[in-house]
């Protein structure tokens, strides 16, 4: 038992694990440097709060699992009982194992070879074991600090008693200091995912619950607490992400006693988790990240961590054409072949056949569940289209929505009991569909068998777009609440399918972006950020999705001139610049577009491919611009020799000239040639003469320090237009 100091990248974690109770996080935040072991007790003492009037007679110890027995009167870390007994715990520390292969972690005890399934090579890991024999419970806390500085915490609770124990809530929490006085989180809805909201952090709990049975359009990908006024490039910030694709909760709690915590876990329905003797419940991973340099610093840690995962997609992300907005349910082989021809001409590398290919699926009211190719529409099956697509050198992808069933389907008619439901009634329909109960072994086996068969029976399906188009409502399994079991079963299904089909890529789509979380992303290769392809809406959706995920994991497609979901009209330049910064694609019927448009589209696709190594490997930066009508972001290569920025005008501004845009992330000591990239048209400008630097064909050469501190005056762009700038180091 010891005081443990873990250090990775720019983050330190100090745990007081001397017992007798659960460890206390003494510090989670900026790297403290290589502290001598002798300094650690003094550090701990310096952080112990005083005893104040009208309070407990000893300082409250806020552990990773807050307990009333340690003087905590905020939200409990564990809520549960055994028939009304064992409702409060006082865990006592048994062992603390530290596996810190490259660290200088104080007087830590080193235990080699404790690989866990997350954190990655080179991570520091602490495993805490504690028990409360009186309550008949034991607890394991798994803490990992990855080489990127990303912290994860998971609790495992085991029932050591001889009668069942019900878990109502088990939530890891981390303390944040009082300087973090402002909160930022995200909400959203269909076609408007990831809307930021921020406010001072008041006393009480700011609780973000998602009861959708999926991650949810409104899920806060990060809950951020920071120094007041923090921005993308400034301020100290702490954030957590609850990695779970079922019901979940993410909480910021500030107490009048002075403590402030961030935490997150699963949202359990009464009766959902009943542990039999010897059984264990594991929480979702709580990811936690700190940055001394604003929100971009959070993304740095997260993106670096995600990119280091062995499962992270490494091949160049193929430019994708998805046929949904081009043909909807109107499947016709010749028409789709024609679309594939046009796609190949403009440089597409993956062609995805969306909803509508399987039995009875002529509209969204029938067919889900019947995963056989529809002979009426596809008399020769899908293979002719697959072959045609592959002949062009493109990959073929196929849409599925495995967890769902239409009541108007052969599957439902044969197995009405294979549906999640409360006893005696079906949940209200949503898009005319119900949810298959994947905790039902026969339903699971059937579905795995069908998906496997579709993949085996066709030569060349490289990719599945895996959709999920409704909330889980009254989602019961065998008469009990079933969201937890369903979520676990979906993970198992994905894992099993991938194991059977190595190399298969999967996209996580859920009515657009309603299943975006780091647990689904351990078994999928990208997310569909939104069903809204309107570039103006997309700018915000992608910016905030990108807080968590690097661009290569976010599907960003060029939609049609008139957006199908908002009816706004945008020129190709604005749509293309917006879609450039992600896993690029097209979602548009390009079979009827003019030759000029086709040439321009091909130029944008070619530009994306040229910039792809930078866009999918570099550091994402966003500009803190004072004018809300201006949004700018960029990607800078790690050696800072190359960068690309987009400056978009969202609306008109109060000021005629909105002010210079500072370009963050460059090397202050180097000089950069700045100019719009060649080969693609520049936006039409709203002025008599553009700024001098833009007027000259050769661009302008300026130092990184000037570009970062003074910035560039921009040309006056029309609203809903964007200017792209490419920077190359001149020396």
Instruction: Specify burial of residue 667 (Cβ count, 10 A radius: 0-12, 13-18, 19+).
Output: middle
With beta carbons less than 8 A apart as the criterion, state whether 520 and 248 touch. Answer: no
Find the catalytic residue in 370, 467, 471, 534. 467
**Site residues for ligand DGJ per CB under 6 A:** 324, 354-355, 399, 467, 469, 509, 511-512, 528, 531
| Among the listed residues 215, 237, 281, the one whose alpha carbon sits nearest the alpha carbon of residue 521 | 215
Q: Which is nearer to ligand DGJ, 28 or 544 (CB)?
A: 544
Q: Which is nearer to ligand DGJ, 221 or 368 (CB)?
A: 368
Q: How far is the CB of 656 from ligand DGJ (least distance, A)?
A: 40
Token pair belonging to 516 = 């975006």
| Among the listed residues 220, 214, 176, the one whose alpha carbon sits nearest the alpha carbon of residue 198 | 220
Q: How far is the CB of 190 from ligand DGJ (least distance, A)?
A: 9
- Owner of token pair 């100290």: 236
Q: Which is nearer to ligand DGJ, 131 or 339 (CB)?
A: 339
Q: Which is nearer to ligand DGJ, 409 or 511 (CB)?
A: 511
Q: How far is the CB of 353 from ligand DGJ (least distance, A)?
A: 10
Q: Please state, as a whole number, how many other Cβ atoms lie within 10 Å of the Cβ of residue 464.
A: 26
Output phi, psi for 729, to 5 deg: -65, 130
Q: How far is the CB of 622 from ligand DGJ (least distance, A)?
A: 26
Q: How far is the CB of 325 from ligand DGJ (least distance, A)?
A: 8
Q: How far is the CB of 501 from ligand DGJ (least distance, A)?
A: 21
Q: Tell how strand 280-282 and strand 285-291 pair up.
A: unpaired
CB neighbour burial string for 541-579, b if at least 16 within 10 angstroms, e if fewer:
bbbbbbbbbbbbbbbbbbbbeebbbbeeebbbbbbbbbb
Please report, for residues 44, 109, 508, 550, 658, the alpha-carbon distance to residue 34 in angstroms, rounded to integers and kept in the order given.
16, 16, 41, 31, 46
Q: Which is nearer to ligand DGJ, 555 or 683 (CB)?
A: 555
Kindly write down the DSSP assignment for every residue of 2-61, as one continuous string: EEEEEEETTEEEEEEE-SSSS-EEEEEEE---S--GGGHHHHHHHTPPPP-SSS-SS---
Q: Which is nearer to ligand DGJ, 266 or 354 (CB)?
A: 354
CA angle 304, 308, 313 (to 5 degrees): 105
Distance CA(615)–CA(546), nearest Å, equals: 12
Kindly write down the DSSP assignment for every residue of 584-621, as one continuous string: EEE-S-GGGS-HHHHHHHHHHHHHHHHHHHHHTTSEEE
Q: Which is nearer to ligand DGJ, 226 or 512 (CB)?
A: 512
Q: Is 45 a catalytic residue?
A: no
Q: Is 380 a catalytic residue?
A: no
Token pair belonging to 619 = 């550091």
Residue whose C-beta lies closest to ligand DGJ:
355
Q: Which is nearer to ligand DGJ, 217 or 254 (CB)?
A: 217
With beta carbons less than 8 A apart as the criterion, state whether 218 and 266 touch. Answer: no
Distance CA(324)–CA(529), nearest Å, equals: 15
Beta bridge partners of 273: 167
Q: Which is nearer to ligand DGJ, 564 or 598 (CB)?
A: 564
Three-class HEC string of 688-720: CCCCHHHHCCCCEEEEHHHHHHCCECCCCECCC
Q: Which is nearer to ligand DGJ, 220 or 511 (CB)?
A: 511
Q: Collapsing DSSP states into helix, strand and coil, what is residue 555?
A: strand
Q: Which is nearer to ligand DGJ, 191 or 603 (CB)?
A: 191
Q: What 8-state DSSP symbol labels residue 304?
A: H
Please report, for residues 18, 284, 517, the alpha-carbon distance to residue 522 in angstroms, rounded to integers and kept in the order given.
34, 13, 9
Q: How far is the CB of 356 from ligand DGJ (least distance, A)?
A: 8
Q: Collapsing DSSP states into helix, strand and coil, what is residue 640?
A: coil
CB neighbour burial string for 209-234, b if at least 16 within 10 angstroms, e if fewer:
ebebbbbbbbbbbbbbbbbeebbbbb
Token pair belonging to 357 = 């290919």
- Owner of token pair 């548009």: 588
Q: Collapsing DSSP states into helix, strand and coil, what is residue 424?
A: coil
Find the catalytic residue in 16, 374, 437, 531. 531
Q: How far is the CB of 186 from ligand DGJ (least distance, A)?
A: 19
Token pair belonging to 701 = 């050469």
Kindly write down the DSSP assignment for every residue of 130-149, as one continuous string: EEETTTTEEEEEEEEE-TTS
Q: Which is nearer to ligand DGJ, 464 or 621 (CB)?
A: 464
Catalytic residues: 467, 531
């Amino acid at each position: 038992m010891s005081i443990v100091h873990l250090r990775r990248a720019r983050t330190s974690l100090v745990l007081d694990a001397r017992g007798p109770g659960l460890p206390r996080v003494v510090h989670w935040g900026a790297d403290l440097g290589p502290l001598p072991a002798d300094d650690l007790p003094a550090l701990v003492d310096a952080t112990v709060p005083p005893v104040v009037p009208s309070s407990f007679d000893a300082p409250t110890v806020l552990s990773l699992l807050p307990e009333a027995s340690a003087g905590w009167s905020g939200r409990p870390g564990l809520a549960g009982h055994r028939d009304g007994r064992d409702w409060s715990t006082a865990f006592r520390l048994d062992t603390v194992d530290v596996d810190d292969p490259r660290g200088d972690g104080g007087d830590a005890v080193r235990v080699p070879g404790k690989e866990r399934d997350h954190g990655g090579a080179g991570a520091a890991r602490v495993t805490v074991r504690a028990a409360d024999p009186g309550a008949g419970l034991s607890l394991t806390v798994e803490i990992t600090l990855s080489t990127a500085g990303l912290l994860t915490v998971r609790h495992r609770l085991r029932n050591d008693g001889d009668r069942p124990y019900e878990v109502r809530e088990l939530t890891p929490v981390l303390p944040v200091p009082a300087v973090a006085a402002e909160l930022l989180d995200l909400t959203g809805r269909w076609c408007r995912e990831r809307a930021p909201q921020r406010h001072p952090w008041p006393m009480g709990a700011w609780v973000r619950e998602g009861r959708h049975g999926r991650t949810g359009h409104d899920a806060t990908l990060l809950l951020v607490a920071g120094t007041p006024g923090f921005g993308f490039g400034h301020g100290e910030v702490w954030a957590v992400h609850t990695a779970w694709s079922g019901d979940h909760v993410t909480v910021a709690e500030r107490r009048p006693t002075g403590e402030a915590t961030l935490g997150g876990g699963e949202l359990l329905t009464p009766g959902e988790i009943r542990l039999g003797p010897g059984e264990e419940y594991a929480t979702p991973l709580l990811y936690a990240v700190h940055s001394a340099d604003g929100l971009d610093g959070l993304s740095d840690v997260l993106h670096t961590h995600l990119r280091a995962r062995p499962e992270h997609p490494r091949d160049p992300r193929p430019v994708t054409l998805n046929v949904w907005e081009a043909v909807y349910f109107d499947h016709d082989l010749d028409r789709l072949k024609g679309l594939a021809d046009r796609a190949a001409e403009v440089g597409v590398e993956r062609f995805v056949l969306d909803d509508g290919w399987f039995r009875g699926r002529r509209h969204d009211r029938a067919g889900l569940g019947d995963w056989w190719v529809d002979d009426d529409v596809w008399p020769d099956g899908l293979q002719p289209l697959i072959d045609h697509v592959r002949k062009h050198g493109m990959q073929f992808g196929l849409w599925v929505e495995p967890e769902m069933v239409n009541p108007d389907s052969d599957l439902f008619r044969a197995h009405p009991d294979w549906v999640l439901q409360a006893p005696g009634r079906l949940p209200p329909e949503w898009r005319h569909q119900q949810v298959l109960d994947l905790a039902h072994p026969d339903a699971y086996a059937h579905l795995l068998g069908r998906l496997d068969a579709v993949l085996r029976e066709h030569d060349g399906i490289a990719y599945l777009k895996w959709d999920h188009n409704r909330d889980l409502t009254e989602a019961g399994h065998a008469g009990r609440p079933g969201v937890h079991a369903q979520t676990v079963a979906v993970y198992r299904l994905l894992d099993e399918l991938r194991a059977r089909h190595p190399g298969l890529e999967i996209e996580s789509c859920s009515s657009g972006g309603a299943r975006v979380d780091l647990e689904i992303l351990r078994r999928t290769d990208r997310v569909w950020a939104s069903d809204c392809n309107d570039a103006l809406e997309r700018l915000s959706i992608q910016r905030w999705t990108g807080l968590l995920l690097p661009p290569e994991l976010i599907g960003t497609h060029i939609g049609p001139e008139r957006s199908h979901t908002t009816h706004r009209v945008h020129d190709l330049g604005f749509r293309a610049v917006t879609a450039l910064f992600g896993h690029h694609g097209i979602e548009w019927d390009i079979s009827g577009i003019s030759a000029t448009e086709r040439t321009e589209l091909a130029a944008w696709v070619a530009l994306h491919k040229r910039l792809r190594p930078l866009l999918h490997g570099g550091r994402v930066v966003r500009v803190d611009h004072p004018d809300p009508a201006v949004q700018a972001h960029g990607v800078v290569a790690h050696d800072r020799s190359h960068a690309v920025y987009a400056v978009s005008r969202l609306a008109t501004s109060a000021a005629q000239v909105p002010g210079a845009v500072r370009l963050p992330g460059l090397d202050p000591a180097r000089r950069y040639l700045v100019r719009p990239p060649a080969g693609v048209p520049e936006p039409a400008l709203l002025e008599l003469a553009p700024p001098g630097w833009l007027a000259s064909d050769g661009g302008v050469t300026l130092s990184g320090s000037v570009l970062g501190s003074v910035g560039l005056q921009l040309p006056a762009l029309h609203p809903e237009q964007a200017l792209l700038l490419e920077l190359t180091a001149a020396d």
